[in-house]
Structure 1
């Protein structure tokens, strides 16, 4: 649950976890929001439904992006730049959200990330997780991407990175959702199990955060794990394919982004329309390894 993420941030006083994505809120959830007696609601999404829910919770002033005819229900709605097909956005999503907060009087962001409090008791962890947390010189590999193969760097490229890291005396842990476990198994196949663990689908979000905190580096596709690691200050390398790094790259100076733009990109497709996956295959393991060596030195 993303609730674990927000609950790990001491700067947040209260987290309301909604049970079920992309559906109407229950009356209990609306009542929980109403009980906070909030004076202002700032919505970072474009949902008309959520504006209605906030209205039902009697939040008097609502602000957010102008979208889907919801502006009339809000105290203030901002028009956002529209994307030009096959062009890079040049407007990061984080800049959009920070701009909204700034418009309501929040101070300008100084670039520092908040501290996360992630405490795991060993007795509450699985033996596999405890083994991973005890491994030396961990590199995380987030080889999956729920959206589809057009966002996934080839498994054999991830495997080459894992091989080189192991040869340098490190350990590797594959991270991701349960649906990505098979891809991660392909990446780690044949490597010694005491130094190469596949934990895709086998961790809670809190456990994932604990593993990232122990990691020296993360190699990832454009994914949630990438953003989480960047927010926690973990260095890494991100490979972009069908999506737009100018809009969704990790917000961290410790990260190196790899993107080989093609005439057809960014296409935002789940699968490569041409079948070549040229944008991903053009990023070589050598290039990513150079970035790893530079950061580690």
Structure 2
């Protein structure tokens, strides 16, 4: 099937990804669907944690939580959700490549179900597309391609819309008061990377950079989840004008706080993509991953990668044990880049 020309009022279910950055990148697909299917209604089936991000995307008409833990099968939950969706959608796009991700649209008997070939999905999808990794060389391109006619998607030369998350200015003002944030220009720092330590710039480098920036008149805001609290402490402890907000804010709060930063220094992480999607200048650090595959989707970014012979390896842990791709990327380089990007 090659015709995906939309009709007014068409209902489309997108089975979303399970990572923050991927969900931000999926907005490119949502934007494409709104253009290609005028008047369509988009529902996104995704983990409950993603709802605050989806709420900041004007293209998403409905966020549907699938409360199944990572790695869990959750047969009963999937059946219940499928029953609630039966008869509501005409078209489903399945972004993840696992067979479990295609179950709910199949059980809901959505007539058209599109996705890439993957784990034993022969019967679960009505349209299975081969993934051409050469032409679809970025995650965002793969997502967008599934909203296009197959012939156009195969060419790989289609436009990719830029994500843009909405900002709640009232919530931002509340957050600044609650956490006693100052009037200095803010630099955000995101030391976490859920994928693993091979993507994480050394904490001592974040600390050295933070000390220099504070001396230059900046405020430091360290953002991340509960797992990043200790990392935030290592950067901010006993440092005036440095605030460890890790584990103290919600994902929606991070959207607003990052929009208020002059720049951010970040690993290749979900919050990197959030910062890009609110227009903040991103100083993006790449170790085991590649900026060619998952770049911040903005022109307002500076990319830092050493492109050593051993990188990118795409491993969670450095297979050589030294993480030279990050250790040899010194704080002085980031400090200079921030100066150059300052208006």
How far residue 149 of structure 1 moved from its aligned partner, in angstroms, is 1.7
2:266, 2:285 within 8 Å by CA — same for their partners in 1? yes
What are the superposed Cα offsets for residues 213-242 of structure 1, whole Å, 9 maximum, x if unpaired? 111111000111101111121111111111
1:90, 1:246 within 8 Å by CA — same for their partners in 2? no
Residue of 208, 211, 214 corresponding to 1:163: 211
Distance 2:99 2:84 in 1: 20
RMSD over equivalenced CA pairs, Å? 2.6
2:112, 2:126 within 8 Å by CA — same for their partners in 1? yes
How far residue 188 of structure 1 moved from its aligned partner, in angstroms, is 1.6
How far residue 117 of structure 1 moved from its aligned partner, in angstroms, is 4.2
- Aligned runs of 1:1-297 on 2, under 5 Å? 1-22=49-70, 23=72, 24=74, 25-34=77-86, 37-81=88-132, 91-103=137-149, 109=159, 111-118=161-168, 120-121=170-171, 128-129=178-179, 131-132=180-181, 134-192=182-240, 195-297=241-343
Q: 1:9 to 1:217 in 2, by over 3 A?
A: same
Q: 1:244 to 1:166 in 2, by over 3 A?
A: same
The TM-score, its normalising length taken from structure 1, stands at: 0.87
What are the superposed Cα offsets for residues 129-170 of structure 1, whole Å, 9 maximum, x if unpaired? 3x23x5431111001222222111111211122122212211
The TM-score, its normalising length taken from structure 2, stands at: 0.76
Distance 2:64 2:117 in 1: 24
Q: 1:5 to 1:63 in 2, by over 3 A?
A: same
Unaligned runs of 5+ in 1: 84-88
Distance 1:252 1:71 in 2: 36
How far residue 40 of structure 1 moved from its aligned partner, in angstroms, is 0.5
2:198, 2:316 within 8 Å by CA — same for their partners in 1? yes
Q: 1:124 to 1:152 in 2, by over 3 A?
A: same
How far residue 120 of structure 1 moved from its aligned partner, in angstroms, is 4.5
Q: 1:93 to 1:279 in 2, by over 3 A?
A: same
Unaligned runs of 5+ in 2: 1-48
Distance 1:218 1:156 in 2: 17
261-270 vs 212-221, which moves further = 261-270
2:186, 2:260 within 8 Å by CA — same for their partners in 1? yes
How far residue 127 of structure 1 moved from its aligned partner, in angstroms, is 6.0
